[in-house]
Amino acid sequence: MKTLKSTLQILSLFSILLWSCQSTAQRSKIRNASPEDIATKQTKYQSKRLDLSDNQTKQLKSINLKYAKELEAYREKDKSEHSYEEVQTLKQKQNQEVKAILSEEQYQQYIALKNENQERLKKRREKRMKKGQNNQKQFQNQGK
């Protein structure tokens, strides 16, 4: 009976380790994307959703690249050197530049897209945290 319990604990540990390695690899893939890759992907998505002209798409890509590079510079610094407020200020500047190239209707759609994305990320984060808490509880219960 003891060997079965030990085997189950080892299997549980192994599955948790495997899960954490996989999710870490996915996150590092996103984090390691170059500013150019980020700007290209972002612009392609926005251009499609906002029905932009070729000229607007070109201008938007330039803005997205500029701010992707600035955000990368923030990430490379020591985390304590920049604050949430600084990043938010940077994003507000980006929004103002984007507003200058879009029509009023397109800008409203742009803001709606940003809000949708923030909400989706928030839900994903909450789901990950909840899943992590459930895994921790399962592991603790198996040890009893």
Task: Find, among 137, 128, 140, 111, the residue nearest to 46 by Cα.
Answer: 111
List of the chain residues with pLDDT < 50? none
Task: Find, among 93, 106, 28, 88, the residue nearest to 64 by Cα.
Answer: 93
pLDDT at residue 144, rounded to an integer: 56
pLDDT at residue 45, rounded to an integer: 95
Q: The tokens of 65 are what?
A: 């690249």
Domain ranges of the chain: 1-32, 35-142
CA distance 136 to 76: 31
Q: What is the pLDDT of residues 97-120, one digit of tens each?
A: 999 999 999 999 999 999 999 999
Query: Within its chain, how far is the Cα of 95 from the centroid?
Result: 18
pLDDT at residue 5, rounded to an integer: 64
Amino acid at 119: E
CA distance 144 to 142: 5
Q: What are phi and psi of 59, to 5 degrees?
A: -65, -40
pLDDT at residue 8, rounded to an integer: 60
To the question of pTM greater than 0.75 for the whole model, the response is no
pLDDT at residue 44, rounded to an integer: 97
Q: What are phi and psi of 34, to 5 degrees?
A: -75, 160
